[in-house]
Chains A and B, each alone.
Chain A
């Protein structure tokens, strides 16, 4: 019954035009970045390497598909949560707004399973967005710019990773990026369980992400104890796969925090939906 309802939920997602808005916006954004890099990518590179280039020369195909994928991932990981929340923030509250939630609750399926099916459908949508981003960022960028070593600018210097050592890093990075976006999806579905309109959970999700990101970026000691527990702190942990050596302990910590957020948010949504007085 859970799977059947999940399928129904996914069909509902596919039936909404806003679901395609996210994929369309993502395609457009990546298209713009690819065009910009093709037109004037070398000046972007020289901005990164300019302080080194007085003394050193970097030879080889620096502006390649691997670097473009990294730039795309870095730029879009901040914006994609909005595209995810636009769809997932509507999953429960949208039913309440349209009045279909009462009919849904009359089905021979528990309320817990209804919520779980919405979470799974939301996860599938998030996965599609992540895979699509991966396809455009990595496959299309490599097709346009070719392949090569990856030059990454970290806070402690430049890291140059050899081409043969990159694919597994991207595979793992996209998995962790998916987990980060899944947390956003879970947050918006949970907020959706508390609301009766679509806009509230979507705006609230983005407000929370912006607030947490600002707290994370403020170099003030009063927030030092909170930062490790904010999911936004761990949303960029995909980037750690491009360090050398890879800080696995830090990545595991991020995975634990993100999974814990998902579990707590799903539990909270189930609790709330089970207690919800469905009158509309």
Chain B
């Protein structure tokens, strides 16, 4: 009897916390869905082991639910996951369940952790942890784990577009353990200094994107995104 009672209490607690998490997540999704499309100027600064690149300016374009395009004069490096994936996942309400995971202090804000678990089989997503500011109803931090790209940690800072849930700075921390140089191309037999060089052993890289001059819900044609490669 005692065991049944404990299980019942546990189940009720889980249901209530799941309900709270779903309600909070719904508010965040509603804020996200208020943005039909946007374009924004981006200053991209990448600090990634094995890659030397100077900061690049680009313009990012987004349209619900997962159309995304980068227009850059130079070569801009962005994480493969993290921009549209949360939107794409959260857009299908029946494809996931949300679970309350407690709280954590992020930049002086007591953020609620909502763990998003996919309910469909063979989903690209394995798990998404979202730390949400319960008052402003925006995501402060996310940790997205996918089958193909591993885990990407994203920090969000907000400016004047907080009403749309659009950040002013996004910091991606990407896993670079899988990076390998193709030997046949990299082999530089005339480079005699290689043995002495200390290799960059860092396992994570960061990409900081500063976003400014948002143009929200101005309307972007679907044709504009047509030449973008589909993600694997």
Beta-carbon contact of B180 and A51 below 8 Å:
yes
Known: A156-B50, A217-B189, A234-B190. A51 touches B75 (CB 8 A): no
| Neighbouring A residues of B49 by C-beta, 8 Å | 157
Q: Report the minimum CB–CB distance from A221 to chain B (whole Å).
A: 11
When the two chains form their complex, are residues B75 and A55 in contact, meaning their CB atoms are under 8 A apart?
no
The distance in angstroms between the C-alpha atoms of A55 and B180, with both chains bound, is 12
A160 CB contacts on chain B under 8 angstroms:
51-54, 74-75, 77
Q: What residues of chain A lie closer than 8 Å to B18, measured between beta carbons?
A: none
The one of B51, B73, B152, B192 that contacts A60, using a Cβ cutoff of 8 Å: B73
Among listed A99-107, A115-123, A236-244, interface-contacting one: A236-244
Q: Which residues of B contact A114 (CB under 8 A)?
A: none
Give the complex CA separation of A56 and B50 in angstroms.
Answer: 13
Q: Does B178 lie at the interface of the complex (its beta carbon under 8 Å from any beta carbon of A)?
A: yes
Q: B220 at the A/B interface (Cβ < 8 Å)?
A: no
Give A225-264 interface residues, CB cut-off 8 Å to B. 227-228, 233-237, 239, 244, 247, 250
Q: Is B80 an interface residue (CB 8 A)?
A: yes
Does chain B have a CB within 8 A of A277?
Answer: no
Once the chains bind, are A54 and B52 in contact (CB under 8 Å)?
A: no
Inter-chain contacts of A162 with B (CB < 8 A): 54, 74
CB distance from A15 to the nearest CB of B (A): 37
Task: List the one stretch of B102-110, B122-130, B194-202, B208-216 in contact with chain A.
Answer: B194-202
Q: Are B193 and A250 in contact (CB under 8 A)?
A: yes
A154 CB to closest chain B CB (Å) equals 6
**What chain B residues lie within 8 Å of A50 (beta carbons)?**
182
Bound form: Cα–Cα A52–B192 in Å: 26
Report the Cα distance A134→B37, complex, angstroms.
45
**Separation of A174 and B132 alpha carbons in the complex (Å):** 56
- Chain B residues lying within 8 Å of A279, measured Cβ to Cβ, are none
Are A51 and B80 neighbours in the complex by a CB distance under 8 Å? Answer: no
Interface residue tally for chain A (C-beta within 8 Å):
42
The reply to whether A154 and B188 contact each other, CB–CB distance below 8 Å, is yes
Asked whether B91 is an interface residue with its Cβ less than 8 Å from the other chain, the reply is: no
Asked whether, in the complex, the Cβ of B174 is within 8 Å of the Cβ of A59, the reply is no
Known A-B contacts A155-B188, A157-B181; the reply to A53 vs B80 at CB < 8 A is yes
Residues of B within 8 A of A236 (CB): 188-190
Contact, CB under 8 Å: A157 / B149: no
Contact of B159 with A by CB under 8 A: no
Residue of B nearest to A254 (CB): B190
In contact, A237 and B190 (Cβ under 8 angstroms) = yes
Cα–Cα, bound, A157→B202 (Å): 13
Tally of contact residues, B, Cβ under 8 A? 45
> Contacting A57 at CB < 8 Å: which of B50, B56, B79, B179?
B79
- A55/B74 contact (C-beta < 8 A), A153-B181, A233-B190, A250-B193 known: no
Residues of A within 8 A of B176 (CB): 55
B75 is contacted by which of A148, A157, A237 (Cβ under 8 Å)? A148
For residue B141, give the distance in angstroms from its CB to the closest CB of chain A: 19
A244 in contact with B192 given A47-B185, A60-B73, A151-B75 (CB within 8 Å): no
Q: Is the CB of A59 within 8 A of B193?
A: no
State which of B77, B189, B197 has its C-beta within 8 Å of the C-beta of A58: B77
Q: Which residues of B contact A228 (CB under 8 A)?
A: 192
The reply to whether the CB of A76 lies closer than 8 angstroms to some CB of chain B is no
Residues of A within 8 A of B (CB): 47-48, 50-62, 148-149, 151, 153-160, 162-163, 213, 216-217, 227-228, 233-237, 239, 244, 247, 250
13 more contacts with CB within 8 A, not counting A61-B75, A154-B191, A155-B188, are A51-B182, A52-B50, A52-B51, A55-B79, A56-B78, A57-B77, A59-B76, A153-B181, A155-B187, A158-B51, A162-B54, A163-B74, A250-B193
Q: Can you list 30 A-B pairs, Cβ within 8 angstroms, ordered by A?
A: A47-B185, A51-B179, A54-B148, A54-B149, A54-B150, A55-B80, A55-B150, A55-B152, A55-B179, A58-B76, A59-B58, A59-B70, A60-B58, A148-B75, A149-B75, A151-B75, A153-B181, A153-B186, A154-B186, A155-B186, A156-B199, A157-B52, A160-B74, A228-B192, A233-B190, A235-B190, A236-B190, A239-B188, A239-B190, A244-B52
